[in-house]
Chain A
């Protein structure tokens, strides 16, 4: 067999162009504290955190087949750990955010051992039960304000930065950093050996198992990593909000429903989908938010229509039509034109 007739590559001109554009956009975004207003920075910070949450949910549901409607368990857990570690542990908030991620990973191990016994859709409701258990448990802890919640003490907030603009810039950069970290982690994970196993499981679980892939273990690793990063995001979210209560921390609408809509509309099972979905979600929110409940009804209808008519979402449609991918995951075979 001759070896010079074809080449296998992952990169494509589109991906290289997108990488350059992405780097430019990232630099512009890093410089936002010098060009954006306070309200815009707040909005962008929130957007980055939703982007990160959506990317993680997409990794679980779109690749590992673990459809969770209980991610608010880890968002809330991370938020409460930020409060507990800074107030009682005396840790610096940034250290506490890392601590929340570690604790999130630790708590997810016994949780996974229990709920991995449920299959498919029942797994989804099982994750919701876990989130309810977390919510009711934290509502019992009177040191953290019980059912009514508590605020982050002023001196802890000041320890981030003495000036208000310094704090706002720092929390913006942390949100941006978290989004970049999560997307990079998902991308590198999917390009790794384990990511290949995961993609195989996504395409056909039975075939993947017969090729020797340990399905339980692969899913378990995804669940634990996702939980840790989601807890980290929860800590960041509540560092921005400065106030936590069980109902806000474990809200199924805020931390799961919106995230699911973002991923479904953008395109499930692709890295690009959550990015597009987040942009669409925020564009809809900023234009329709005045409508109140009608906006949520519209969002639900859009998600159902997308799921029924274009189950691969906006990005899936674009990809099928133009054959491009911004994050090169697939291999492409290029044959030599002389043959």
Chain B
């Protein structure tokens, strides 16, 4: 039963990892941009959430009402102001600019919030649980997983059922022809980044409720998100959810064997998938 419990808890944890990954997957799909600062942007959302909670006294989940639009605005400004200039055939500029951004963000957090770990207090929901067939499931992990499924379904809907998604797919397929058809790719890229950071806002708030975070917490979140994307297969959002679940289960099973093995087990699962299925489990686009 302990093992079943580890697998179930890992699956729920995977929902959070899928949320880390969804934004990364979205912007890679639309503009082939890999954002090294993605993890730090997740942490930025958590700090914004903390600031909102402390100043207004709102519940962390209600703080989303403010944090989501703020992050989306930051995303649009970031894309149009800086990142659009880096896009082209050369992979070096976007990589190095987002890497520089990551270092800047970490030190801004350090300056503004000190190095002390912070956490958001969500009250009773943090410890509430329901019993199900001998297992005790936390309400918060269940809610996180449900949100992850909802977010991915929503992104999937936007991508394939709306005019915005059609323009995303158009610039993804061929930027020049999309331009000829009257799309402004700079604007579309800005909207894609805004959407990605809106998802990141949700991920950041849930992270900040679940665990404590500090200015350097972003690197590990980027890596988990990245691993979920690669395990699931590039460009496949539902695959990303599966990737997150595999990563989460590997970590909880690793932790069950030896607490020191928790993170290592996740990385090993990733390297194993990379060794046997280099394109991930459900690839859709080639990198």
Contact = CB atoms under 8 A, between A and B. Distances in A.
Nearest to A302: B100
Nearest to A304: B100
A190 interface: no
The prevalent SS among residues of A at the interface is helix
B227 interface: yes
B226 A125 contact: yes
A132 B97 contact: no
Given A118-B230, A297-B104, A307-B100, A124 B271 contact: no
A128 B108 CA distance: 22
Nearest to B265: A136
A293 B112 CA distance: 10
Contacts of A261: 100
A139 B270 CA distance: 20
For the residues of B in contact with A, the DSSP-based class is helix
Interface stretch (A100-108, A178-186, A252-260, A327-335): A252-260
Interface string B72-109: 00000000001001100001111111011101101110
Contacts of B92: 61, 67, 268, 311
Contacts, number: 116
Contacts of B34: 120-122, 124-125
Contact of A311 (B93, B99, B227): B93
B97 A307 contact: yes
A191 B100 CA distance: 32
B194 interface: no
B51 to A, nearest CB: 18
Nearest to B220: A132
B171 to A, nearest CB: 18
10 closest A-B pairs by beta carbon, nearest first, are A121-B34, A300-B104, A117-B278, A293-B107, A304-B100, A300-B103, A303-B100, A300-B100, A120-B91, A296-B107
25 contacts: A61-B92, A69-B99, A114-B271, A118-B230, A120-B287, A121-B34, A128-B219, A128-B222, A136-B260, A137-B264, A260-B96, A264-B96, A293-B110, A296-B107, A297-B108, A297-B111, A301-B104, A303-B100, A304-B104, A307-B96, A307-B97, A308-B82, A308-B86, A308-B93, A311-B92
